[in-house]
């Protein structure tokens, strides 16, 4: 455990940020699961709505520094491929 006041604060701040990041990542995973379920059902309207919402959440996570650009790009690409299979 740290003894210096600033080091103690950094431990608290790191814990808070870690929790925030986990909440956002979990939320994105939930959106992806809902999207996958809608695609599996074949519900085009719902999946389109969830696709837009999920991509927006991923972009917001990149803006906050939770995901790197390439990770977000890969996730969005995977979602797009799934969404496009629905139209065929």
Rounded CA separation 49/41 (Å): 14
Give pLDDT tens digits for 36-45.
Answer: 999 999 999 9
CB 58 within 8 A of CB 76: yes
Instruction: Tell me what pLDDT residue 38 has.
Output: 95
Q: So where are the chain's domains?
A: 5-87
Residue with tokens 């939770």: 66
Nearest to 35 by CA among 1, 78, 71: 78
Q: Which class is domain 5-87?
A: mainly alpha
pTM for the model: 0.87
Instruction: Tell me what pLDDT residue 52 has.
Output: 97
Long-range contacts at 14-23 (CB < 8 A, ≥ 24 apart): 21/66
Q: Which residues of the chain have pLDDT under 50?
A: none
Instruction: Tell me what pLDDT residue 88 has.
Output: 59
Residue with tokens 């006041």: 5
Give pLDDT tens digits for 13-24.
Answer: 999 999 999 999
Instruction: Tell me what pLDDT residue 84 has.
Output: 93
Question: What Cα–Cα distance (Å) separates residue 85 from each residue in 26, 42, 66?
Answer: 25, 10, 29
Instruction: Tell me what pLDDT residue 11 has.
Output: 96
């Amino acid at each position: 455990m740290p003894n210096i006041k600033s080091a103690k604060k950094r431990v608290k701040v790191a814990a808070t940020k870690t929790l925030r990041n986990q909440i956002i990542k979990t939320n994105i995973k939930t959106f992806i699961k809902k999207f996958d379920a809608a695609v599996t059902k074949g519900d085009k309207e719902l999946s389109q709505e969830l696709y837009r919402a999920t991509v927006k959440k991923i972009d917001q996570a990149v803006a906050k520094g939770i995901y790197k650009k390439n990770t977000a790009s890969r996730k969005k690409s995977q979602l797009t491929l799934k969404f496009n299979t629905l139209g065929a």
